[in-house]
Structure 1
Amino acid sequence: MRLSPLNLKILLNLFLVYISWGSTYIGFKFTLEVLGPFLACGSRMFLAGLLLCGVIICTGRWRRPSFADWRHACWLSVFMVVMASGFLGKGQEYVTSGVAAVITGSTPISMLVAAWLFGGERRPSAMQWLGLAGGLCGLALLGVSQNASGPEQSSPVGMFWVFGATLGWVAGSLLTRRFSLVTSLTALQSCGLLLLVGGLQTLLLGFACGEAAMTRWENLRPEVALAFAWMTIGGSIIAYSSYFWLLTHVSIATAVSYEYVVPVIGVLLGWRLGGEAITGRIVLACCLTVGSVFFVLWHKHNK
C-alpha cells in the first residue's frame, strides 16, 4: 500500500522524535566525561537556541519578542530547561542512561497525578489507577535493582535528581496551561527563546557550582564531541521542531507516543553504545513503566 506524502512526513517526524529524545541519555553519558552536568546542559541548550533563532531570522519569519515574551521564557525555562534537562544531567552522574530513560518515561504518570491534585482535572479512573500502580512498581524495582558493574545502577541520589527533572517538566507544563500567554510569536520562535534563556540560566548555575574548574578536557575525544553535537542539533532543534509539527498534524495520542518508545531506546543505546548491562530487573522495570504509561494515556485520550 502506497503511503501519502502527509503520512510519510508523519512517520519521518515520529522517527526523528523517537531517536532524538531516546538518544539524549547516552549523549549525556558521553558528554559528562568532559563537562559538568549543568554546563553540558546549558551549552547545549544555548547553542540550540541560537541556531534555531538564527534559522528563523534567515527565513524572514522572526518577530520582535515583547517584554512579556521574555518574561514568560525566563520563568518557564527554570522548569522546562534548568530542571527538566539540567537535573537529568546531574542525575546521570549517579545512574546509568538506561535507568534515567525509564524514570523519565514515567512523566505522564506524574502529570496525571499533578493535574488531578493541582490542576483541577478529574480524579483518575480505575484504568489509570492501574497504570499508576504499575508505574510505581517499576520505579520501586529500579530503586532496589543491583548490578555487578557497580552501585551507580540504582543510586538513590541519582534517581532523586532524575525524578526531579520529570517534576520540572510536569510543573512547567501545568503552569503554562494555567498562565497562558497571548503572543504574536510562532511556537517555534517561542521554543527558540525558551532554549536560549534556559541555556543561559543553566550555564550560570553551572559556573556558580564551580563546574568550570572541574572540566576534564583530557577526556575529549571524537565520540564525546559527536554526542554533544547530536544532543544540540538532534535532541533540541530537531526533536522540538518535529514534536511541534506533530502537535498540529496528528492526534495528541500519536504525538505523545514517544513516551512509550523513548525509555526502550534509551535502555538499548545504553547497552549497545555505553556498555551498560541489561538485567532482568531493568527489563521488567522498563516493561512495567512503559505499560503503565500506555494505560494512563490510552484511557485518557480514548475517553
Structure 2
Amino acid sequence: MTAAPARTARLTPAILLALALVYVVWGSTYFGIKVAIGSLPPLGMLGVRFLVAGALLYGFLRWRGAPPPTGREWRASAIVGLLLLGGGTGLVTLAERDASSSVAALVIAVSPLFAALFGRLWGERTSGREWLGIAVGLAGIALLNLGELHATPLAAFLLILAPICWTFGSQWSRHLPLPAGLMGSAAEMLTGGALLLLLSLGLGQLGLGEHWGRPTPASLWALAYLTVFGSLVAYSAYMYLVAHTRPALATSYAYVNPVVAVLLGVGLGGESLTRLGWTALGVILAGVVLVAWPRRQPAGAAGAGA
C-alpha cells in the first residue's frame, strides 16, 4: 500500500482549472451519452471510448519518456477502472436508455455524500460546513425530482448504484499502488475500457442486447467528444482532484453537472424543467459554494488539508 499524497486546503490555480473542466465537461457528457447510445451499444460505446482515450494518452506519455506501469500497478489500475468506469460510468450509461440525461445527472449528485462516508473508512474528516453543503445540495436534488424529471425503477436503481461504485473506487484509489501522474489515468482507461468491451461482446453473444448496428453521424460525433473531452481531459482532471484535494471538493462536480446537463437537455434534447426545477438549481449551487469554500487554516499550519 502506498502513502496517500498530501491534499491542499487551498484553491490553487491547478485545482481551480481541474474543477472547471470537471464541472463543465462532465456536465455535458450526460447529453453526449444520450446521443451516442442512440445507435451504439451502451457498454460497447464506453469500451471504445476509454480504450481509444487510454491508448492515446499512454502512447503520448511513453513518447515523452514516462515509464510503463509495473504488473502491480496494472492490477491496481484494473480495480479502479472496473469500479469507476465499469460500475460508475457504465451503470449511468445503461440507465440512460430509460432515463433522461437530466435525471441521470441529478441522481448522481449524491456522490459527495458517499465520498464523505467512504472517506471516513480511511480516516478522512468532513467538516460541519461540508456536511451542510452536502445536505443543501441533496435538498436541491429532492426539489428537482418533485418536478417533471423521472426515471424507470430499474434506471433509478442503476443510477443510485453508480455513485457508490464511483466514490468507493475514488477513495480506494488513493491507497492503491497506481502509476504516477497521468499514467495512472491512462492505465485505468485502458484496463476499464478493455473490461467494458469484453463485457459488451459477451452480452452480444448471449443475445442480451449489446449489438453493433450502423451508427449515425450524431452518435459518432458524440463518441468522439466523449473520448477526447470526457475521458482524456475531464477524467485526468478528476483523478488530479482525487489525489490533491479533499473528497467533498473532488466530488462537488456532482452538484454542478446537473445544472449543465439540465441546460443542455432542455436546450438541445427537448427535455422540460418547471419553475420549481430552476429554483432547485439555485439551491444546488448554494450547496456547491458551501462544499468548495476553502477551509480556514490554523496559524502556522501547513497547506495539507484533512
Task: Give yes or no for TM over 0.5.
Answer: yes
Show the counterpart of 1:88: 92
Name the TM-score, length of structure 1 as normaliser: 0.79
Distance 1:30 1:280 in 2: 26
Distance 2:246 2:168 in 1: 23
Give the drift of 1:122: 4.2
Aligned match of 2:213 in 201, 210, 217? 217
Gaps of 5+ in 2: 1-11, 298-306
Distance across 1 between alignment mates of 2:90 and 2:139: 26
Q: Deviations over 1:224-268 (max 9, x none)?
A: 211110000110002234456678999999876644532211111
| DSSP-derived class of the 1:108 partner | helix
Structural mapping, 1:136-215, within 5 Å: 136-146=138-148, 153-177=150-174, 179-181=175-177, 185-210=179-204, 214-215=210-211
Q: Is the 8 A contact 2:148 2:272 kept in 1?
A: no
- Contact 1:106–1:293 (8 Å) recurs in 2: no
Distance in 1, matches of 2:250 and 2:136, equals: 23
Report the count of equivalent residues.
Answer: 284
Give matches, 1:28-47, under 5 Å. 28-47=33-52
Query: What amino acid is the match of 2:112?
Result: P
Task: After superposing the two structures, state which structure 1 stretch, 22-31 or 239-248, moved more.
Answer: 239-248
Q: 1:132 to 1:70 in 2, by over 3 A?
A: same
2:280 pairs with 1:280: no
Q: How has the CA–CA distance of structure 1 residues 27 and 64 changed in structure 2, closer, same or farther, with 3 Å as cutoff?
A: same
Cα 1:36–1:155 change in 2 (3 A) is same
Residue 42 of structure 1 aligns to which amino acid in structure 2? G
Q: In 2 relative to 1, CA 64–154 (structure 1 residues): closer, same or farther, beyond 3 Å?
A: closer
> Given that residues 81 and 192 in structure 2 are in contact (C-alpha distance below 8 angstroms), is that contact kept between their aligned partners in structure 1?
yes
- Equivalent-residue separation in structure 2 for 1:114 and 1:250 (angstroms): 15
- Comparing both structures, which one devotes a greater share of its residues to helix? 1
Residue type of the alignment partner of 1:91:
A
The whole-number CA distance in structure 1 between the counterparts of 2:49 and 2:58 is 14
1:150 counterpart residue number: none
On the 8 A contact 1:253/1:298 being kept in 2, the answer is no
Query: Could you tell me how far 1:121 is from its partner in structure 2?
Result: 3.6
Deviations 1:260-292 (A, max 9, x none): 532211111112221211223433443344433
Q: Are the structure 2 counterparts of residues 132 and 18 from structure 1 closer, same or farther at C-alpha, using a change threshold of 3 Å? A: closer
For the aligned residue pairs, the C-alpha RMSD in angstroms reads 3.3
Instruction: Tell me whether 196-205 or 277-286 shows the greater mean CA deviation.
Output: 277-286
CA drift of 1:296 comes to 3.6
Task: Spell out, residue by residue over 1:184-204, the C-alpha distance to the aligned partner (whole angstroms, 9 max, x if none).
Answer: x43101110000000111112
Distance 1:136 1:251, change over 3 A: closer
